[in-house]
């Protein structure tokens, strides 16, 4: 049985932070995912600029799936389903994407001979042309919020926050009366 | 949404970690499956097997023999070097590059009225409706099923076809031309207008707004 929830001021602040983190990360994922999913060709062209895939099949698979995958993860966070797992997926995708965007910005900076923070380009993130330093800051904040959601001790206002843990606890309690 | 206040003190830390990884794996697998279904149901969905950016024959030979290889996009380049590279790629495909002066001449040629000279706009639908070369056919090569039934017969009966996109780094005119060649239009008929719609507009040429044949012309100031 779960112990009673703490209702101290710090616990309330934690709950509020968690709720805000879910709203911000989830909302951004839905917005960015939809803006790409509605114009997949534009996203495909932008993705190609990174020269990550030699194979057309892989390029198409990533361009076709990633926008909808983002929308899916965003909805899970907003509704509070599998929050920790989704936060881990979010971190696992944000880290390599941030590195890739940063590397692309370095290439553009070298080609155009301008200061790093003056580099602006459409990174294919769903928000159009952005300043690279702003983008890196935004991604860092998203990573911090995802890490918070991964490590936070509890969840409120969630439909099904930790389905795997809950199901395993339930099956364990059935086995040991 | 119910306020569960659920937390995990009753689970062992290592088990919690394993649970989180299992959860992440399920989220990834289910999310990927849903994304694939959404893409296949979306009218703008991408074909997974098609190479949208087929490399020119020399690029394929220099890179690999794999037919599924994607052509490398151009990085920042000057106009001159960009046009030289484009001309080389087009020549490798058996296509020709055409400059604004040549395009204007073809536009003013009486054969255009008989559709023996045809213009093909390779930009997306929104850009096309916002303005295109008068009487140009629309061919967004990413969605060939939608546009090919109209544009293919026109290109078949034409003597000269001019394909354009926005200009600059845009490669859609090149890939649209390559698609038309694959569909059966002789490469010798196809001319790629490198300056594209930007060059057309900046030279004060007339622009048709809306669908093809709308008659809504806009003469811009040079």
Cβ atoms < 10 Å from Cβ of B62 = 9
Is B42 inside any structural domain?
Answer: no
A69 at interface of B, judged by CB pairs closer than 8 A: yes
CB A85 within 8 A of CB A160: no
Give the residue extent of every domain in chain A.
15-156
- Torsion over CA: B119, B125, B127, B128 (sign): positive
Instruction: List the CATH number of the domain containing B200.
Output: 3.40.250.10
Rounded to the nearest angstrom, the minimum Cα separation between A82 and chain B is 7
Q: Within the 67-86 window of chain B, which residues sit less than 8 Å (CB to CB) from chain A?
A: 68-70, 72-73, 75-76
A112 at interface of B, judged by CB pairs closer than 8 A: yes
What mean pLDDT comes out for the span A15-28? 95
Is B151 inside any structural domain?
Answer: yes
Cβ atoms < 10 Å from Cβ of A29 = 25
CB A149 within 8 A of CB A89: no
Is B123 inside any structural domain?
Answer: yes
CB B197 within 8 A of CB B166: yes
Cβ contact A41–B44 (<8 Å):
yes
Q: What is the reported pLDDT for A73?
A: 97
Rounded to the nearest angstrom, the minimum Cα separation between A58 and chain B is 8
Flag whether pLDDT at B5 surpasses 50: no
For B19-56, write each residue's pLDDT tens digit. Answer: 899 999 999 999 999 999 999 999 999 999 999 999 88
Flag whether pLDDT at B199 surpasses 80: yes
Classify residue A10 by burial, with Cβ atoms within 10 Å: 0-12, 13-18, 19+.
exposed
ipTM of the complex: 0.90
Q: What tokens does A63 get?
A: 């361009």
Residues paired with B96 in a beta bridge: B191
Q: Within the 81-140 window of chain B, which residues sit less than 8 Å (CB to CB) from chain A?
A: 124, 140
Contacts of A51 in chain B (CB under 8 A): 72-73
Q: What is the reported pLDDT for B16?
A: 81
Identify which of B8, B44, B68 has the shortest CB distance to residue A55: B68
Cβ atoms < 10 Å from Cβ of B9 = 10
Range of the domain at B101: 72-219
Residue in A with minimal Cα distance to B125: A39
CB B170 within 8 A of CB B163: no
A7 at interface of B, judged by CB pairs closer than 8 A: no
Cβ contact B38–A68 (<8 Å):
yes
Is B45 inside any structural domain?
Answer: no
Q: Which residues are CB-contacts of A151 (< 8 A; sequence separation ≥ 6)?
A: none
Q: What tokens does B64 get?
A: 């690999």
Identify which of A59, A86, A162 has the shortest CB distance to residue B8: A162
Identify which of B5, B47, B76 has the shortest CB distance to residue A154: B5
For A97-125, write each residue's pLDDT tens digit. Answer: 999 999 999 999 999 999 999 999 999 98
For B92-141, write each residue's pLDDT tens digit. Answer: 999 999 999 999 999 999 999 999 999 999 999 999 999 999 999 999 99
Identify which of A56, A150, A162 has the shortest CB distance to residue B68: A56
- Rounded Cα distance between A95 and A72, Å, is 19
Contacts of B53 in chain A (CB under 8 A): 48, 56
The four Cα atoms A61, A63, A67, A73 give a dihedral, to 10 degrees, of: 40
Q: Please count the structural domains in chain B.
A: 1
Summary mean pLDDT of chain B = 87
Q: Which residues are CB-contacts of A114 (< 8 A; sequence separation ≥ 6)?
A: none
Identify which of B23, B53, B63 has the shortest CB distance to residue A82: B23
Cβ contact B51–A40 (<8 Å):
no
Mean pLDDT lowest among A35-39, A143-147, B12-16, B113-117: B12-16
Q: What tokens does A133 get?
A: 């330093």
pLDDT band, very low/low/confident/very high, at A63 (cuts 50, 70, 90): very high
């Amino acid at each position: 049985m779960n112990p009673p929830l703490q209702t101290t001021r710090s616990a309330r602040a934690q709950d509020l932070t968690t709720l805000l983190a879910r709203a911000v990360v989830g909302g951004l994922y839905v917005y960015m995912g939809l803006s790409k999913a509605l114009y997949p060709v534009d996203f495909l062209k932008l993705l190609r600029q990174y020269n990550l895939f030699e194979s057309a099949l892989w390029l198409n698979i990533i361009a076709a799936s990633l926008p909808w995958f983002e929308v899916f993860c965003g909805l899970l966070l907003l509704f509070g389903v599998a929050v920790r797992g989704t936060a881990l997926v979010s971190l696992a995708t944000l880290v390599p994407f941030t590195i890739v965007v940063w590397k692309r910005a370095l290439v553009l900076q070298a080609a155009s001979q301008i200061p790093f923070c003056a580099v602006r380009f459409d990174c294919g993130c769903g928000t159009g042309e952005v300043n690279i330093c702003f983008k890196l800051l935004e991604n860092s904040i998203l990573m911090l919020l995802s890490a918070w959601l991964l490590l936070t001790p509890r969840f409120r206002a969630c439909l099904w926050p930790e389905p795997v843990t809950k199901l395993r606890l339930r099956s364990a309690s059935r086995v040991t009366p | 949404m119910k306020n569960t206040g659920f937390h995990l003190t009753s689970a062992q830390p290592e088990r919690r970690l394993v649970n989180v990884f299992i959860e992440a794996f399920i989220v990834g697998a289910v999310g990927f499956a849903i994304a694939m279904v959404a893409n296949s149901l979306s009218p703008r969905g991408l074909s997974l097997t098609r190479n949208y950016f087929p490399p020119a024959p020399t690029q394929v030979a220099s890179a690999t023999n794999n037919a599924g290889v994607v052509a490398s996009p151009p990085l920042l380049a000057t106009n001159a070097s960009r046009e030289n590279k484009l001309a080389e790629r087009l020549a490798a495909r058996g296509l020709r590059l055409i400059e604004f002066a040549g395009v204007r001449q073809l536009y003013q040629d009486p054969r255009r009225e008989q559709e023996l000279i045809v213009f093909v706009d390779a930009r997306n639908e929104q850009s096309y409706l916002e303005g295109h070369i008068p009487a140009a056919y629309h061919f967004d090569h990413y969605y060939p099923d939608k546009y090919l039934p109209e544009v293919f017969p026109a290109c078949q009966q034409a003597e000269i076809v001019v394909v354009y996109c926005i200009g600059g780094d845009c490669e859609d005119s090149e890939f649209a031309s390559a698609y038309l060649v694959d569909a059966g239009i002789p490469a010798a008929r196809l001319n790629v207008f490198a300056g594209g719609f930007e060059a057309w507009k900046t030279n004060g040429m007339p622009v048709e707004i809306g669908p093809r044949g709308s008659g809504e012309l806009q003469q811009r100031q040079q």
